[in-house]
Structure 1
Amino acid sequence: MLFNRLKPCLITLSALSVLSTPFSASAQDADKWRSGVSAIGELKYPEGFERFAYVNPDAPKGGTLRLSANGTFDTLNLLLDKGEAANGLGLVYDTLMVSSEEELSASYGLLAEAVSFPDDISKAVFRLRKEAKWADGQPVTPEDVVFSFEKTKELSTSKANYYAHVSKAEVTGEREVTFTFDEANNKELPQIVGQLAIVPKHWWEGTGPDGKQRDISRVTLEPVMGSGPYKVASVSSGSTLTYELRDDYWGKDLNVNVGQNNFKTISYSFFTDQDVEFQAFKSGTIDFRQEQSSSRWVKQYDFPAVKDGRITKEELPNVYRAAGIMQAFVPNQRREKFQNPNMRKALNYAFDFEDLNKTLAFGQFQRINSFFMGSELASSGLPTGRELEILTELKDQVPPEVFTAEYQNPVAGDPGKQRTNLLEAKKLMELAGYELRGNKMVNAQTGKQLDIELLIDSVGMERTVTPFIQNLKRIGVNATLRTVDASQYANRVRSFDFDMIVKLWGTSASPGNEQADYWGSAAADRPGSGNVGGIKNPAVDALVRKVIFAPNRDEQVAAARALDRVLLANAYVVPQFYRGFSSIAYWNTLVHPKELPEYGLGFPNAWWSASAGK
């Protein structure tokens, strides 16, 4: 499973999406229906449970939560790849199932009261709740689910990749919809279908206030309608957006919603300048902030509101307990200059993590050394046991050092070590067919200087990546940094129009189909896929399938660790850094449950306004 809308240096506060386990059930056998599924161990909550343990069932309703977002938006249509979708649209739409932030991999019914599938997991049947309704009072139907699935695959390349093995959805009963899979025994498929945001077919096929036919294939700023707890109350294109709690929300008394959805209004203000965004928080016009800058967290949170207790600062590991993280510089192997692994290894020697950590992050970072950093899926030492057996099956297709050497990043941090690393980078570039002529690193055959443009979409990231650019220049590379707006950046990344970017991948405790999108050969040629580096490697493909089709947890962990080693050994990325905790700050206008969930912050759903009920 994967995180939602991950961005570099940012871990979302929502709970991880999770993987389900197979159970023997059929649509005809009512006693086989289940209201919740779990991948690791038993479900914490039995059928008919009262509420999640971490919520406050007496939390008052009311008040306003004012949030900020970096960038802009130009659409409220969340199904599209094109355009910049507004933050918070998940407040408007319900999904078939919802994850628990207290469990590593568990989900419970929301729009669907139950799910069922056969032993071979060739299909999954969801039974909708009869009380589920859209904001206009019409019932949520299987036809809506089919429409949502078909339009999602049609209009979003990234989601089409994610749901690639879900071949069709069809109405199979008054309140039942059946998803058919094109391969058996892929135990993740029922769960990822449960994540699907369901949109109203009749609304999208109707006419808008202007009397014109709506078009779900286009961007829109018309307030969209959903079945979720909030509605869009006001929109100012690219600037502000306000959601309002629905008094008539059909699911407000469901066990998975008790003690949640407490704010009367939730607003987003959008900022293109991160310093201006921070000033808005300091002034009290924004209530909550997740700080991404380590230097700001250390040096700039000494203003009066922090000192006198009106603002609380917390460092919380909760979200990271269930996350495997890789954040890295990613060279685009679709460009010939990055196809030689020696060139990619050279780039790692040019990155001085230790100096950056000392001067910019005040020692708060760890160097990433795994594609599943921070989780039990991360490889370490030399392969043994089942992991070694899996790798041995592919011995002729993987780098030999996978078996003989533990992966280690270069270490710098002082002028001497940095010089040594840059000399090693120069040697590796020479092995890749380049040579230093005068002060320029050039292609030995063509004489053309090596050009590398690093593309980013955040001015705030420039301080972090500029030292890397400067080190590349020191060995003769014509390295440049280009900062573009969010829309241009998204379009260029979708079409793989870049030399190098910064990318963050997040994986839940139960990796699955998203791994094929991240690293699989088929995804390398699909615009909008997660395989931004253009990896095409049959050994990686084989290991991804072992992860997806692992029959048990031990096999899944062993396969993931083997995959990790092969990805690292091929130097597909230059690993960056990891903190392992969320840095949050919030005004005393907000209250959160005394005990936050083990694997999340319960934000914003389980928090409430200090002024509500007064």
Structure 2
Amino acid sequence: MRSTVLLMTALAAGPALAASPDEVPTRHALALYGEPALPADFSHFPHADPDAPVGGTLTRAATGSFDSTNPFIIQGTPATGLNAIYDTLLVANPDEPFTMYGLLAEGIRLDPDRQWLEFDLHPEARFHDGTPVTAEDVIFSFETLTEKGQPFYGAYYADVTEVRAVDEDTVHFDLAASESRELPLILGQLPVLPAHYWEGRDFEATTREALLGSGPYRIAQVDPGRRIVYERVEDYWGQALPVNRGRHNIERLVFDYYRDQTVALEAFKAGNLDMRIESSARNWATAYDFPAAEAGFVQRLEVPDGQPAGMQAYVINLRRDKFQDMRVREALNLAFDFEWLNQNLFYGAYERTRSYFENSEMAAEGLPGEGELALLEPHREALPERVFEGPLPVEHPDGLRPRLRRALDLLREAGYESRDGTLVDAQSGQPLTLEVLLFDTQFERVVQPLLRNLARLGVQGDIRIVDVNQYLNRLRSFDYDIIVGSFPQSANPGNEQREFWGSEYADAPQSRNLIGLQDPVIDDLVDRLIAADSREALDTAAQALDRVLRWGFYVIPQWHLDATRIAVWDKFGWQEPFPHYNLDLDAWWVDPQRAAEIESRQRNR
């Protein structure tokens, strides 16, 4: 796979390489810390059953609508499930914190000093049209996604300085001296696109074509805005690989679109949908007592989630001048009454989220320790005193009334006063107003209590519900006061933090910097987190970042549940225990006998 000429090419790079690729052993997997849990000769992931039956259909609901089958670009609303048609260089084991095993790449070489990385492509790798997957496809994918794709890709792969083909089956990445331990692994997450297919096509334009991939499924049917269907590729090149054995067993994956979650729930009850991942505590407590469930034809599972809870919150848009004052943002936080919501709407199902790294060692607690202080002290003049002197979690008065009194004090300090029951800017006379932008009517009842509490302060609040496409358009242009957003976290956060909080993404359309943060201190802490060279250093950097974000009151934290709630018609099989870190529905299968029983019942109703 490697030639003398290619070796000379690599050596010609000179001092930039700490070691020659021929001096570095080829691996089957990369772990962020330590060694991979599975040996080179492993036969399948432990949670997958290599003897699982193949066939059947899984029908699920998707929300809203779609008008594109290209999930990588800013334009359009992509269909759900499109990742199933694409293979990546490596694939994660859901039962390890962060370890990537070979998929398109059968071999991996990583420079001991992490200045370069090479992937040897599997000689059998093919796109669905039979064309081999080559190093040129990898290069095309990297360059196209980082230059023409969503801002996420530019942030994710910002520390790649060069990519080149060593030969037809080997691709080489040069890495910046950022010391990012994560970068080699996330390069393995690169979806590989067919360069020959996109020649003469406009990658940045929306399309409804059945795009070409190399993954276990292909697009079988596109009914824009209503349904997309994927079918299992019978001659899928990678089906016998250890990472795939016992996975991708279901013949057809169907996503039916519903504009309203209430209608989708009724469709599930009627048997038109096979599975529902339930996000509503009220539904989970009250909506699954229909006859089929009582007769034992429906199962309900709570699958533990070993990942940090991350941050789901009301996201405050700093691009609005009225939210620039930290006292205003803290006042909004004080008006949120989680205890009332949990008791009256959520059946006591949730815990309050406080940290951006909730349920992990990365969450900041108490006063900053020695390690945090070493990262924070250089920025002392730019940070509020409370970052250094105030313990976490933030101590606010107990009870809603004391909190609202404190909120009103803060708003007055920020220059607002009450006039005829309305809170106005004392100088301009303009009222303090805010709009919560939603696309799901299910969330309206959750927002209303917050707006009622703000109304007691004289803040004029409103809910604006729009369809999904309009919502996405407003999101892309950051045209909102407050939205319900989330910042999911893994056990090993890294380059994605740039897009969450980085200044360079504050004005990038469709970036995940929903808040509009542009803060050099936060930028520096994100760089420190990405460069962490040990688990301890990563935890410390995350704690420092968490502390600064929390004392900025950029969001109103909501709630979390450390499990995934799944309701499913009882025709599916899976192996337990479930993977510790991520749910892997690809390892499920349809049980033919149980599926036949359920279909017979539904026909005879």
Taking structure 2 as the reference length, what is the TM-score of the superposition? 0.92
User: How big is the shift at 1:444?
Assistant: 1.0
**Residues 425-457 of structure 1: CA deviation (Å, up to 9, x unaligned):** 111111111111121110111001011111112
**What is the DSSP-based 3-state SS (H/G/I as helix, E as strand, rest coil) of the residue aligned with 2:87?**
coil
Amino acid in structure 2 at the alignment position of 1:78: P
**Residues 118-139 of structure 1: CA deviation (Å, up to 9, x unaligned):** 2332332211111000111110
Contact 1:122–1:184 under 8 Å retained in 2 = no
Counterpart of 1:257?
A: 244
**What is the DSSP-based 3-state SS (H/G/I as helix, E as strand, rest coil) of the residue aligned with 2:488?**
strand
Contact 2:434–2:481 under 8 Å retained in 1 = yes
Asked if 1:399 is matched to 2:384, the reply is yes
Asked if 1:123 is matched to 2:116, the reply is yes
**Residues 44-96 of structure 1: CA deviation (Å, up to 9, x unaligned):** 11112111111111101011111111111111112212111111111111000
**Which deviates more, 400-409 or 231-240?**
400-409
Taking structure 1 as the reference length, what is the TM-score of the superposition? 0.91
User: How big is the shift at 1:296?
Assistant: 0.8
Counterpart of 1:14?
A: none
Counterpart of 2:274?
A: 287
In the aligned structure 2, how far is the partner of 1:583 from the partner of 1:327? 17
**What is the DSSP-based 3-state SS (H/G/I as helix, E as strand, rest coil) of the residue aligned with 2:60?**
strand
Alignment of 1:464-483 (within 5 A): 464-483=446-465
Contact 1:102–1:598 under 8 Å retained in 2 = yes
Structure 2 vs 1, CA of residues 24 and 53 (structure 1 numbering), >3 Å: closer, same or farther? farther
User: How big is the shift at 1:263?
Assistant: 0.6
Structure 2 vs 1, CA of residues 143 and 252 (structure 1 numbering), >3 Å: closer, same or farther? same
Contact 2:366–2:393 under 8 Å retained in 1 = no
**Any stretches of 5+ residues in structure 1 without a counterpart?**
1-22, 206-212
**Residues 525-581 of structure 1: CA deviation (Å, up to 9, x unaligned):** 322222111122222122111111112111111111111111111111111111111
Counterpart of 1:175?
A: 169
Contact 2:309–2:561 under 8 Å retained in 1 = no
User: How big is the shift at 1:25?
Assistant: 6.5
Asked if 1:111 is matched to 2:111, the reply is no
Asked if 1:565 is matched to 2:547, the reply is yes
In the aligned structure 2, how far is the partner of 1:146 from the partner of 1:48? 29
Counterpart of 1:608?
A: 589
Asked if 1:376 is matched to 2:361, the reply is yes
User: How big is the shift at 1:412?
Assistant: 8.1
Asked if 1:72 is matched to 2:57, the reply is no
Alignment of 1:407-426 (within 5 A): 407-408=392-393, 417-426=399-408
Contact 2:19–2:111 under 8 Å retained in 1 = yes
**What is the DSSP-based 3-state SS (H/G/I as helix, E as strand, rest coil) of the residue aligned with 1:32?**
coil
Counterpart of 1:19?
A: none
In the aligned structure 2, how far is the partner of 1:95 from the partner of 1:24? 27
**Residues 239-285 of structure 1: CA deviation (Å, up to 9, x unaligned):** 11111111100000000001001011111101001111001110111
Amino acid in structure 2 at the alignment position of 1:196: L
Counterpart of 2:183?
A: 189
Contact 2:365–2:393 under 8 Å retained in 1 = no
Alignment of 1:302-313 (within 5 A): 302-313=289-300
Which of 291, 313, 337 lines up with 2:322 in the alignment? 337
Which of 368, 375, 390 lines up with 2:375 in the alignment? 390
Counterpart of 1:146?
A: 139
Counterpart of 2:39?
A: 46
Contact 2:32–2:182 under 8 Å retained in 1 = no
Contact 2:439–2:467 under 8 Å retained in 1 = yes
Asked if 1:133 is matched to 2:126, the reply is yes
Amino acid in structure 1 at the alignment position of 2:212: M
In the aligned structure 1, how far is the partner of 2:270 from the partner of 2:452? 36
Contact 2:116–2:175 under 8 Å retained in 1 = yes
Contact 2:502–2:523 under 8 Å retained in 1 = yes
**Residues 4-37 of structure 1: CA deviation (Å, up to 9, x unaligned):** xxxxxxxxxxxxxxxxxxx9864323x5121101
Contact 2:367–2:390 under 8 Å retained in 1 = yes
In the aligned structure 2, how far is the partner of 1:26 from the partner of 1:224? 38
Asked if 1:556 is matched to 2:549, the reply is no
Asked if 1:365 is matched to 2:350, the reply is yes
In the aligned structure 1, how far is the partner of 2:310 from the partner of 2:219? 33
Counterpart of 1:83?
A: 76
**Which deviates more, 394-403 or 239-248?**
394-403
Amino acid in structure 2 at the alignment position of 1:172: V
In the aligned structure 2, how far is the partner of 1:426 from the partner of 1:393? 34
Amino acid in structure 2 at the alignment position of 1:174: E
Structure 2 vs 1, CA of residues 120 and 301 (structure 1 numbering), >3 Å: closer, same or farther? same
User: How big is the shift at 1:306?
Assistant: 1.8
User: How big is the shift at 1:409?
Assistant: 5.2
Counterpart of 2:259?
A: 272
Alignment of 1:377-526 (within 5 A): 377-408=362-393, 417-526=399-508
Amino acid in structure 1 at the alignment position of 2:386: E
User: How big is the shift at 1:411?
Assistant: 6.5
In the aligned structure 2, how far is the partner of 1:555 from the partner of 1:167? 25
Contact 2:32–2:181 under 8 Å retained in 1 = no
Which of 170, 188, 193 lines up with 1:199 in the alignment? 193
**Which deviates more, 376-385 or 53-62?**
376-385
| CA RMSD of superposed structures (Å) | 1.9
Asked if 1:598 is matched to 2:592, the reply is no
User: How big is the shift at 1:222?
Assistant: 1.2
In the aligned structure 1, how far is the partner of 2:90 from the partner of 2:19? 17
Contact 2:103–2:243 under 8 Å retained in 1 = yes
In the aligned structure 2, how far is the partner of 1:122 from the partner of 1:76? 36
Aligned length: 578
